[in-house]
Amino acid sequence: MNIVVCIKQVPDSDKVTIDRETNRLNRAGVPSIINPFDENALEMALQLKDEHGGKVTVISMGPPQAEQALRTALSHGADEAILISDRKFGGADTWATSYTISLAIKKLEDVDLILFGKQAIDGDTAQVGPGVAHFLDIPMLTYAKSVEVTSNTFKVNKVTEDGYEIWDIDKPAALTVVKEANQLRMPSLKKKMAAKKAEIPCWGFDELQPDEEKIGLAGSPTKVSKIFAPPVKLNKEILSGEPSDMITELIQKLKEQHVL
């Protein structure tokens, strides 16, 4: 079984801060990581491979340094990696990203399953998985927690707001994977060494031959018009001291404000 996992390299958002004067992200020194949800997609692929054999290919679109995320994925057990990178792809929103990634997947042979993280933590859009699936014209389910393989279909447990659903979906299929699915295995030392040396092909404009109007900034319907720091609360009151006094004071204030 051939499985493709799409992984995105993202800044570790726990460590991103904003410069309140310039409204720019302080990205210097912020480490890049594999989008946490993509780790779950990768582990799902590795487990399916353990059980049914086949090959796991990881794909990432991004600047040249995204190669690092791909090497990390190889050290965890992925078999092959492909980087999608070209200056012309820069500034892509989820629409243009979906289109570009779909062109790369079209070049691969006999893909049975394409896995995505539930969402990327930098943009939190959760749009690339459904987008790629549509460009490839294959069925797609979001929020997958587990998968079973049957002869021509996958049986998928999908999380909903208040429970779950079981779906039967034809091959080839696309799924976005939730965190509850699993936890990514540790990298092995041997694979780490191999990952360092692995050849990672880079596919750009010439390899993918995209429609020029559908890529990069120009191919992106959405544009960022403004970036600003989230507003802070001004009139806050901080109380300390004896619990009973604090609560008495608080309840008095809540009464004044007609909350109680």
Partner 1 sequence: MSTTKELWVYAEQRDGKLAGVVRELLSQGQILAEKAGFTLAAVLPSANGAELCQELYNFGAKKVYTIDDPKLADYQNDYYSRAIAQLINEKKPEIVLYGATTIGRSLAPTVAVMVDAGLTADCTELDFDAETGNLLQTRPAFGGNIMATIICPDHRPQMSTVRSNVFKKTKISDNEAGEQIDYSVDLSGVPERMRRLESVHESDTNSIDLNAAQFIVSGGRGVGKPENFKIIYDFAAELGAAVGASRATVDAGWISHHHQVGQTGKTVCPVVYIACGISGAIQHLAGMQSSDMIIAINKDPDAPIFDVADFGLIGDLHEIVPEFRKQIAAFKA
Ligand X SMILES: Nc1ncnc2c1ncn2[C@@H]1O[C@H](COP(=O)(O)O)[C@@H](O)[C@H]1O
61 binds, among partner 1, ligand X, ligand FAD, none (CB under 5 to 8 A by kind): ligand X
Q: Beta 140-149 vs 153-160: how paired, if at all?
A: antiparallel
Three-state DSSP state, 128: helix
Please state, in angstroms and rounded to a whole number, the distance separating the CA atoms of residues 86 and 100. Answer: 11
Q: How far is the CB of 202 from partner 1 (least distance, A)?
A: 25
Q: How far is the CB of 68 from ligand FAD (least distance, A)?
A: 19
Nearer to ligand FAD, 37 or 135 (CB): 37
The label of the residue with tokens 């409204």 reads 23
Q: How far is the CB of 70 from partner 1 (least distance, A)?
A: 22
Three-state DSSP state, 132: helix
Q: How far is the CB of 158 from ligand FAD (least distance, A)?
A: 19
Q: How far is the CB of 94 from ligand X (least distance, A)?
A: 5
Does the N-terminal peptide bond of residue 172 adopt cis geometry, omega within 30 degrees of 0?
yes
Nearer to ligand X, 68 or 127 (CB): 127
Dihedral of the alpha carbons of 205, 208, 214, 218, in degrees to the nearest 10 = -10
Binding positions for ligand X, 79-138, rule CB under 6 A: 94, 97, 101, 116-117, 119-120, 123-129
Binding residues for ligand FAD, total number by CB under 6 A: 3
Q: Helices 67-76 and 189-197 sit at what angle, rounded to 10 degrees?
A: 150
- When asked if residue 33 is in the footprint of ligand FAD (CB under 6 A), the reply is no
Q: Which listed residue (44, 84, 121, 136) binds ligand FAD by CB under 6 A?
A: 121
Three-state DSSP state, 130: helix
Q: Which residues lie near ligand FAD (CB under 6 A)?
A: 14, 36, 121
